[in-house]
Structure 1
Amino acid sequence: MRKAGIAVALTGLAAATLTGVFARDHILAVDLAAQKASEAATAARIVERPVPPPPPLPEVSRRIRPVVPDVVAAPPVGEGGLERVDPRDPLGPLGRARSLSEGPPKETILYRPTTAGAGRFEAQGYSVRLEGVQPTDVGENCTTPEGLSWPCGIHARTAFRNWLRGRALNCVVPPVPGQAEHVTGCTLGKEDAAEWLVSHGWVRAEPNGSYVEAEEVARKARLGLFGPAPITSRQSGD
């Protein structure tokens, strides 16, 4: 009878133990299912938002760094920076160097020149001074070795005018005349106008120029400015 009671007790204890185990497993399964349901609900509430792109980096401006700002100031540069442009065309044929393939510069025929003095003239809107000489001013007076003063500037202009006689000169000048005086060489036919004036003594050559020797010859021959006063000047001075 006692053994039967012990067996019943052990059987009850085993049943209780199994019941506890099953209950614990059931609770764990319920908790796991609830956790998964909660995670699924949370994931459903999450909305994917696009990530905005990063802001652009500031553009580095390559400005000129002044080396000596107190002496040389940097030129103003706009926000757009510097822009390389093509070089402009020259203002005239005298404003640029010529290549060998282009040959010598082209001459322009200047009609009806008006002499403003020995070595200077005007024609077709151009004001020209002959290159390589020192023009003789109209108001210049010369003195002979005998001490006689005479208006050599007027006589020099008259000699230049008589030599030209209104004939056209060939000169290298820009296509369009300007207000400035053009210093250039001119020819009358095949004769150099500046050389004619220097060799006849009516103008002086530029120092170290092409006509220095021609001036020395005129001085030795006492021609033009370096010679005696013309007869008309001597008669007017008596």
Structure 2
Amino acid sequence: MLAFLLLVEPPALPEGRAGDTAPHQAEPVAEAQQTADAEPVASVIAAPRPDQIRNVSPEGVSAPRVSGFLKRIEPSKRYQELKNPPVEPVPDGPLELFRVEIIDSGHIRSGRMKVTLANITGLAPEATCKTRSGTDWPCGMRARTFLRGLVRQLRLDCVKQQEIGPQEIVASCRRGQIDLSARLVRYGWATPAADAPQHFQELALKAKEAKAGQWQDEWVTDLPDSGFDDSGVSALPDLENLTQEVVEWSQSAAPGLAGQDLVGSDSGAATLVPNQ
């Protein structure tokens, strides 16, 4: 009998016994439980404690009692719209601009809208130019002053050519019959853009030849005495009926323009004719 028991193989264990499977199943359960316990701990650590919350309630208003942890939420859609309102595109039709601010000789602003004058490259306000003796003079400030005198507080009519950003366009603007871009090039306070019409190049060439605007080689700091005696002079009669024209004082500072007038439309090349 003993020999028989030694030779016979022991019976196989039944599948699914608790003693064998329990250790294997316990490991995933324990890992999941540790992960679940770690998540609230991490969120609790990140959230501010009630005693660390800054009270920003105005005077006379009682702050609510905080007994638990706070949770930060995203601002409402309505608040975001009020804080950053959507910017409407600039209409394509003709634009009438009032109370225009002059940024420099190539850019103007009306309200929230910034306009880059078409077909030209203006001078920055801090730009300087060289005289014949090598002295710097503030041609950028002078160019801006010229455009200010041209625009003043009058209405501008602009036609949008391109929208380059929110409330920012490239446009051709006129004050009455005067094209601002052409007038700036004509008197040497701006240069034509690479894609500007041909007559802009002709206006720039004439300005260089006449040493007008930024091309002048002498810088006059003192204005001559006008010799006008205004003692006892009241308001000029029919002043409101006078045609508002810009005193183009840049000619007086350009030796090449002495004794000559620039005539002709800004839409074409300027012509130099001697004064009669």
TM-score, with structure 1 as normaliser: 0.51
| 2:212 aligns with one of 223, 227, 236 | 223
* 1:232 counterpart residue number: 221
Q: Partner of 1:187: helix, strand, or coil?
A: strand
Q: Partner of 1:231: helix, strand, or coil?
A: coil
| 1:159 aligns with one of 143, 146, 171 | 146
Q: Partner of 1:232: helix, strand, or coil?
A: coil
CA contact (8 A) 1:114 1:166 kept: no
- Specify whether residues 121 and 220 from structure 1 end up closer, same or farther in structure 2 by C-alpha distance, changes over 3 A only: same
| 1:213 aligns with one of 198, 202, 208 | 202
Aligned length in residues: 132
Q: Does 1:188 align with 2:209?
A: no
Structure number with greater CO (CA < 8 Å, separation at least 6) is 1
CA contact (8 A) 2:104 2:140 kept: yes
CA contact (8 A) 1:130 1:184 kept: yes
Larger Rg: 1
* 1:168 counterpart residue number: 155
Paired with 1:92 and 1:160, the residues of 2 have a C-alpha distance of: 24
| 1:139 aligns with one of 111, 118, 126 | 126
CA contact (8 A) 2:132 2:218 kept: no
CA contact (8 A) 1:172 1:186 kept: yes
The residue identity in structure 1 corresponding to 2:203 is: A
Unpaired runs of at least 5, structure 1: 1-90, 95-105
Q: What is the Cα deviation at residue 221 of structure 1? A: 0.5
The residue identity in structure 2 corresponding to 1:183 is: V
Paired with 1:153 and 1:229, the residues of 2 have a C-alpha distance of: 15
Paired with 2:98 and 2:217, the residues of 1 have a C-alpha distance of: 34
Q: Does 1:128 align with 2:115?
A: yes
TM-score, with structure 2 as normaliser: 0.44
Map 1:1-238 → 2, pairs under 5 A: 93-94=91-92, 106-173=93-160, 179-210=166-197, 211-232=200-221
The residue identity in structure 2 corresponding to 1:163 is: L
Paired with 1:130 and 1:231, the residues of 2 have a C-alpha distance of: 28
Q: What is the Cα deviation at residue 232 of structure 1? A: 1.6
Give every structure 1 segment of 4 or more consecutive aligned residues whose post-TM-superposition deviation is greater than 6 Å.
none
RMSD over aligned Cα, in angstroms? 2.6
- Specify whether residues 233 and 143 from structure 1 end up closer, same or farther in structure 2 by C-alpha distance, changes over 3 A only: farther
Paired with 2:205 and 2:136, the residues of 1 have a C-alpha distance of: 22
The residue identity in structure 2 corresponding to 1:204 is: T
Deviation by residue 1:108-145 (Cα, 9 ceiling, x = unmatched): 11001110001211013210010000021011110122
CA contact (8 A) 1:150 1:229 kept: no
Share of identical aligned residues, percent?
27
CA contact (8 A) 1:140 1:153 kept: yes
The residue identity in structure 2 corresponding to 1:168 is: R
Deviation by residue 1:150-182 (Cα, 9 ceiling, x = unmatched): 1110111011101111211101249x9x63531
